[in-house]
Amino acid sequence: MLLLIPGPVQTRPEVRAAMAVDIAPWDRGFMPEYAGIREKVRDLAGGIAGQHACLPLQGAGHFITEAAIRTFVPAGAKLLLVMNGTYADRMARLAREAGRVVVPLAVPDHRSVTPAEVAEVLAADPAIGHVGIVYSETGSGIVNDVPGVGAAVRTAGRRMIVDAVSAFGALPFDLKAQPEVDAVVFTSNKCIEGLPGIGFAVCPIDRVTACAGNAGSWSFDLADIYATALRAGWGSFRFTPPVQALHAFGKALEFFQAEGGQPARHARYRENARLLHEGVRALGLKPYLDWDHQGPIIVTVHQPADPRFTLMEFVEALKTRGVLISNFYNTPVPTMRIGCIGDIHAEDIRFALRAIAETLDGMGIRQRDAA
Ligand SMILES: *Cc1c(COP(=O)(O)O)cnc(C)c1O
């Protein structure tokens, strides 16, 4: 089966095979492996040894995002959130439920926010200490201008938290060039092409130590994760980790580096997105985003207007042809989401486009423009 979804992604067989081992996380043989993964991840984020730390947390992407918000935004403090997609909605919910005050900045989900839009809100409200932004909005497929918005945040003397869950490893990110960033967060199962199980935050150490005591949670406290590393070593855990997923992530990092790292991965995904965007148009379907706003992670396509079309039926029929796409959508109007990330190459996209064409024909869908 070809998984064309924006995570958990299609993985290489060698990465999946790395899961099939028993490991004790505190074993002297594994601790250096884990410590080495943390160093590699810090470096990939543009972090500097001694200045930045990789702080992993077991669980889904939402958990590491919540940990970053709890750690850096004090309870009762204001957080400006750029709202242009469903992952921003989720960030707002977890921030509110953690008792942080969300100031939403509504932006349409078919374009990036502009640095000027953020600067204006920050200028109007000096009580906003942080800006939260989703780098690649996996709802629609747009990419927010993180370096540009970061510069506006820096100028305004505020701090930033970046949800780079679906961006990290594919879109460029350089922590040392963005000193306004308190945390960039991502997971093992998206553009690095590992398996799900663990999230990572890379953060400036002076900010982590300054924020000790903010979290109001032991589980979701990045400062406590840092303190544990100092006390017990960078190969140590507070609680049982998904140790097999970590071992496999180490393998995925090897393939990532062998491929040529972030620039190569970006180029492969962008070509996947280009083929998809062009290919669905050739089938008479309408992409949700103009190519100018289309990111390399996910191509969202309007569901056909044809009354015979239902998403669930389409997804199940496509699956019988060897391709799995999401059976839900995250846009205000009915769409289909097709992932470009994972161990997916141009020939896979061509195969998927043929399968999509056959499936639409098989279902008798002739009216293919937007519903
Ligand atoms: C996948 C994703 C997440 C995290 O999702 P989980 O299901 O919690 O792992 C967060 N933000 C973005 C932008 C994502 O694409």
Confidence (pLDDT) at 207 = 98
Please say whether the beta carbons of 83 and 96 come within 8 A.
no
> Which has the closest alpha carbon to 58: 238, 231, 223?
238
Residue 152's φ and ψ, nearest 5 degrees, are -65, -40
Residue with the bigger pLDDT between 309 and 370: it is: 309
Answer yes or no: CATH 3.40.640.10 is held by domain 13-257.
yes
Please say whether the beta carbons of 199 and 186 come within 8 A.
yes
The atom number, within ligand 1, closest to the CA of 85 reads 13
Decide whether any atom of ligand 1 lies within 6 Å of the 187 Cβ.
yes
Mean pLDDT of 34-53: 98
Decide whether any atom of ligand 1 lies within 6 Å of the 61 Cβ.
yes
Computed over its alpha carbons, how large is the radius of gyration of the chain? 21
Each residue of 59-103: pLDDT tens digit? 999 999 999 999 999 999 999 999 999 999 999 999 999 999 999
Q: What is the mean pLDDT of the chain?
A: 97
Q: Tell me if domain 13-257 and domain 261-363 are identical in fold.
A: no
Confidence (pLDDT) at 24 = 96
Mean pLDDT of 4-28: 97
Tally of helices (H runs) and strands (E runs) in the chain: 12, 11
Please say whether the beta carbons of 265 and 256 come within 8 A.
yes
> Are β-strands 78-83 and 101-106 bridged in parallel, bridged antiparallel, or unpaired?
parallel
SS (H, E, C) 152-169: HHHHCCCEEEEECCCCEC
Mean pLDDT of 177-205: 98
Decide whether any atom of ligand 1 lies within 6 Å of the 86 Cβ.
no
* 308 Cα to the center of ligand 1, angstroms: 32
Each residue of 195-237: pLDDT tens digit? 999 999 999 999 999 999 999 999 999 999 999 999 999 999 9
Q: Which residues are annotated as a binding site?
A: 337
Decide whether any atom of ligand 1 lies within 6 Å of the 140 Cβ.
no
**Which amino acid makes up residue 207?**
R
Best residue among 142, 163, 171 to mutate for probing ligand 1's pocket (most ligand atoms within 8 Å of CB) is 163
Decide whether any atom of ligand 1 lies within 6 Å of the 87 Cβ.
yes
Each residue of 292-325: pLDDT tens digit? 999 999 999 999 999 999 999 999 999 999 999 9
* 191 Cα to the center of ligand 1, angstroms: 12
Decide whether any atom of ligand 1 lies within 6 Å of the 171 Cβ.
no
Confidence (pLDDT) at 131 = 98
Q: Transcribe 65-112 into DSSP letters.
A: HHHHHHHHS-TT-EEEEEESSHHHHHHHHHHHHTT-EEEEEE--TTSP
Q: What percent of the chain has a predicted confidence (pLDDT) above 70? A: 100
Domain ranges of the chain: 13-257, 261-363
Check the CA dihedral 11-13-15-16 and report its sign. positive
Q: Which residues are annotated as a binding site for substrate?
A: 337
pLDDT band at 371 (very low <50, low <70, confident <90, very high): confident
Please say whether the beta carbons of 340 and 276 come within 8 A.
yes
Best residue among 58, 89, 109, 138 to mutate for probing ligand 1's pocket (most ligand atoms within 8 Å of CB) is 138
CATH topology of domain 261-363: Aspartate Aminotransferase, domain 1 (3.90.1150)
Tell me if residue 245 falls in helix, strand or coil: helix
Decide whether any atom of ligand 1 lies within 6 Å of the 237 Cβ.
no
Query: In the β-sheet with 159-163, what is the strand arrangement from edge to edge?
Result: 52-58, 198-204, 181-187, 159-163, 128-134, 78-83, 101-106
Best residue among 187, 189, 191 to mutate for probing ligand 1's pocket (most ligand atoms within 8 Å of CB) is 187
DSSP 292: G
Report how far residue 238's alpha carbon sits from residue 209's, in angstroms, rounded to the nearest whole number.
18
Residue 119's φ and ψ, nearest 5 degrees, are -60, -40
Decide whether any atom of ligand 1 lies within 6 Å of the 134 Cβ.
yes
* 300 Cα to the center of ligand 1, angstroms: 16
Each residue of 271-294: pLDDT tens digit? 999 999 999 999 999 999 999 999
Decide whether any atom of ligand 1 lies within 6 Å of the 60 Cβ.
yes
